[in-house]
Amino acid sequence: MIDPLLSLSLSLNSNKGIYAILLGSGISNAAGIPTGWEIVIDIIKKVAKLHGEDCAADPESWYLSKYGTAANYSILLNEVAKSPGERRNLLSTYFVPSDEERSVNLKTSTKAHRAIASLVLSGHIKVILTTNFDSLMEDALREKGISPTIISTVDSIQGTLPIIHTSCTVIKLHGDYRDIRIKNTLDELQTYEEPMNTLIDRIFDEFGLIICGWSAEWDHALVSAIERCKSRRFTIYWCTRGIPQGNAKRLIDLRQAEPITIKDADSFFENVQDKVVTLEELNNPHPLSKKTAVASLKRYLPDPTQRIRFHDLVMGETEQLAESITDKHFSVDVRPVNKDEFLQRVKAYESLSETLRSIFATGCYWGLDEQNYVWVKSLTRLANNWDIHGGITALLDLRLYPVVLVMYAGGIAAVAREKYMFVRELLTETKVSRSGCTYAGVFYLDPMSCFKETYKFLPCVSQYTPVNQYIYKLLRTDLREILPFEQDFERAFDIFEYLAALLFLDQKVKDPKYREWEVSPYGSYAWKGYGGSNNVLDFVSKGRSLGENWTVLKQSLFGGSMDRFEQLNEIHTKFLKECILPFPTDLINKG
């Protein structure tokens, strides 16, 4: 039999976002937060003290004898705190840690809360139900940069975004301690209002469930919700510290749940999170697979009889990357987009595209001219990989990031071999379809277009071209075998970006459909050149000295015309001078 913990971890890893977590009082009690009934008992003691009586032996019986009714949380609270401010201050003593309590980690988020928050951050968990009144779960989520949607009353259900459109929803089934409408007594826990029942029924029907810290003995409305759910789409995993008893055992049997014996919630959720991370790493391309693919490519490139295998290797890796970055795996409706989640997606795209980047770097450097169409075909396939056209703009833009990385790897390698005609093919014959029109890839496959305002999330190394500099550092490793010396890599990188800018303008001047593009792409070459050489300045200077014999023109870029080159270069330089203050003006110096 497979260990239920391993089974759960595998299910979470392969079914991102389809499991919800149900947390009971055991989770918060471990942090020193009293249960709802413990708060009631303590308030009864305060009420008795106000009457000058002692109820320590049996507070519940004392209250029943005194008032002729069972203890009710709301009535009790009104007895000891008349105004909303007084009630809030009283309750805060139970849920908000004092300085002394905080110093010993009491009433603060536990390891379990933080591990769950990590699972939310990685996209494995989207929904958390809790019977607790405290804010420990929300605190742990916010520490990770996640702003959850909170539902704690029937009122808050109205107008809330559908769960599928939120990055995380926390449903506080019994309310929040800051609202006196919380459910606490046995009578209050008998039923939920109909909107809450409807929401819970939908979650139990559509999601798998991980239950931890919940005994099922007191919360009759919640027990009823589990009982009436008939679907068996996904497994229920029920954590228990011993042999399940009472309602817990009955519900486990009824729903064919999978019991998991745990020591405590902290170790359980940390263990789950650790296993999920391990499985995620296993999903990433193994370095050996990358080396094997590149080794196979090197055998196929020079041999005309291997052209089919060459094609199938490149397109096979292309399809593998295309499938792994679809909207099925990377939702474009995650709200809100926070830094940690965004950077995690950036890293995932980088990892998934690593093998194809290495194949492009090697193939575009060593490949033959008759093989060029395969690289263009691969990029075109990747650049038109999505069916969903609506969503969060930042995430829609980022979808082209792995395509840009692959294109850059091939383009830099081609520049290093002075294959300028091939660079033009990569940038202009790669096609991107948008709104029924087809555009040259250079108009969409630009680093800054993938990030726009989200470039601020990157560990920027330049205030002028942060994304370009970030990609430079990433791709340095991919091309180290081909370009072992830093100056050679930097030169090829700068010239590729410069040629991309001029080819962009060349297309824009020739084709009216591109006139709407106002901002030309540019790279870090735009601000280099002070106190030293600039690769692009040197490149242009050499070209001018060679004239029509310049390799760039001999390979038919810019129609093979130096006048055409100078015209485009001047347009680009004027644009840079207007947009980037430190741009070296030497670039338009004809002499």
Question: Where are any strands of DSSP class E within 287-407?
Answer: none
Q: Which residues contact 482 (CB under 8 A, 6 or more apart)?
A: 361, 362, 365, 413, 416
pLDDT for the residue numbered 590: 37
Statement: residue 586 has pLDDT above 60: no
Whole-number mean pLDDT of the chain? 87
Domains identified in the chain, total number: 3
pLDDT for the residue numbered 182: 67
- The full DSSP string for 375-423 is HHHHHHHHHT--S---S-HHHHHHTTHHHHHHHHHHHHHHHHTT-HHHH
- The full DSSP string for 174-190 is T--TTSTT---STTTTS
Can you tell me the distance from the alpha carbon of 335 to that of 338, in angstroms, rounded to the nearest whole number? Answer: 8
> pLDDT band for position 3 (50/70/90)?
confident
Does residue 505 share a domain with residue 426? yes
Residue 586 located in a structural domain: no
Phi-psi region of 261 (alpha: psi -120 to 50; beta: other; left: phi over 0): beta
* Rounded to 5°, angle at Cα 434 from 428 and 439: 15
Statement: residue 540 has pLDDT above 80: yes
Comparing 461 with 143, the larger pLDDT belongs to: 143
Does residue 81 share a domain with residue 217? no
Comparing 313 with 83, the larger pLDDT belongs to: 313
- Write down the H helix ranges in 126-264: 136-143, 154-157, 194-206, 220-228, 246-254
Cβ proximity of 59 and 48 under 8 Å: yes
> pLDDT band for position 584 (50/70/90)?
very low
Highest mean pLDDT among 83-92, 229-238, 423-432, 450-459: 423-432
Average pLDDT over residues 400-413: 97
Core vs surface per residue 142-154: b (16+ CB within 10 A) or e: eebebebbbbbbe
pLDDT for the residue numbered 460: 65
Tell me how many helices (H) and strands (E) the chain has: 28, 9
* Percent share of the chain, pLDDT over 70: 92
Q: What is the CATH number of the domain that holds 205?
A: 3.40.50.1220
pLDDT for the residue numbered 55: 87
State whether the Cα torsion 503-504-509-513 is positive or negative.
Answer: positive
Residue 434 located in a structural domain: yes
Highest mean pLDDT among 125-134, 188-197, 531-540: 125-134
State whether the Cα torsion 333-129-70-46 is positive or negative.
Answer: negative
Q: What is the pLDDT of residues 442-501, one digit of tens each?
A: 988 999 888 887 888 887 655 678 899 899 999 999 999 999 999 999 999 999 999 999
* Percent share of the chain, pLDDT over 90: 47
Does residue 158 share a domain with residue 9? yes
Does residue 247 share a domain with residue 292? no
Does residue 323 share a domain with residue 375? yes
Average pLDDT over residues 393-403: 92
> pLDDT band for position 277 (50/70/90)?
confident
pLDDT for the residue numbered 577: 77
Q: Is 158 helix (H, G, I), strand (E, B) or coil?
A: coil
Residue 559 located in a structural domain: no
Average pLDDT over residues 230-254: 90
Comparing 155 with 337, the larger pLDDT belongs to: 155
pLDDT for the residue numbered 588: 41
Domain span at residue 206? Answer: 4-32+109-274
Look at the block and give the residue holding tokens 């789409």.
233
Can you tell me the distance from the alpha carbon of 462 to that of 439, in angstroms, rounded to the nearest whole number? Answer: 30
pLDDT for the residue numbered 491: 95
Does residue 299 share a domain with residue 213? no
pLDDT for the residue numbered 177: 77
What is the token pair recorded at 526?
């735009």
Average pLDDT over residues 142-152: 90
Cβ proximity of 441 and 426 under 8 Å: yes
Statement: residue 387 has pLDDT above 90: no
Can you tell me the distance from the alpha carbon of 102 to that of 105, in angstroms, rounded to the nearest whole number? Answer: 5
Specify the amino acid at residue 274. Answer: D
Q: Is 173 helix (H, G, I), strand (E, B) or coil?
A: coil
Statement: residue 235 has pLDDT above 50: yes
**103, 136, 152 — which closes off a domain?**
103
Residue 584 located in a structural domain: no
Does residue 42 share a domain with residue 27? no
**73, 103, 133 — which closes off a domain?**
103
> pLDDT band for position 585 (50/70/90)?
very low
Q: What is the pLDDT of residues 311-364, one digit of tens each?
A: 999 999 999 999 999 888 888 877 777 787 788 889 999 999 999 999 999 999
Cβ proximity of 251 and 245 under 8 Å: no
State whether the Cα torsion 501-502-506-509 is positive or negative.
Answer: positive
Residue 552 located in a structural domain: no
Q: Which residues contact 58 (CB under 8 A, 6 or more apart)?
A: none
Q: How far apart are the first and last CA of the chain?
A: 79
Residue 536 located in a structural domain: no
Specify the amino acid at residue 299. Answer: R
pLDDT for the residue numbered 383: 94
Statement: residue 159 has pLDDT above 80: no
Does residue 292 share a domain with residue 422? yes
Cβ proximity of 106 and 80 under 8 Å: no
Statement: residue 569 has pLDDT above 50: yes
Residue 63 located in a structural domain: yes
Average pLDDT over residues 202-212: 94
Comparing 139 with 187, the larger pLDDT belongs to: 139
Statement: residue 583 has pLDDT above 60: no
Does residue 92 share a domain with residue 227? no
Average pLDDT over residues 279-294: 74
Q: In terms of C-beta distances under 8 Å and separation of at least 24 residues, what long-range contacts does 145-153 make, across chains too?
A: 145/121, 145/338, 145/339, 145/340, 145/341, 146/117, 146/120, 146/121, 146/338, 146/340, 146/341, 147/336, 147/338, 148/120, 150/176, 151/199, 152/176, 152/179, 153/179, 153/181
Can you tell me the distance from the alpha carbon of 352 to that of 344, in angstroms, rounded to the nearest whole number? Answer: 12
Does residue 237 share a domain with residue 305? no
Q: What is the pLDDT of residues 21-40, one digit of tens each?
A: 999 988 988 888 887 778 88
Statement: residue 589 has pLDDT above 60: no
Phi-psi region of 105 (alpha: psi -120 to 50; beta: other; left: phi over 0): left
Does residue 208 share a domain with residue 301? no
Comparing 534 with 352, the larger pLDDT belongs to: 352
Does residue 77 share a domain with residue 122? no
Look at the block and give the residue holding tokens 């919940």.
214
Prior bond to 302 cis, omega within 30? no
**464, 497, 512 — which closes off a domain?**
512
Residue 568 located in a structural domain: no
pLDDT for the residue numbered 231: 79
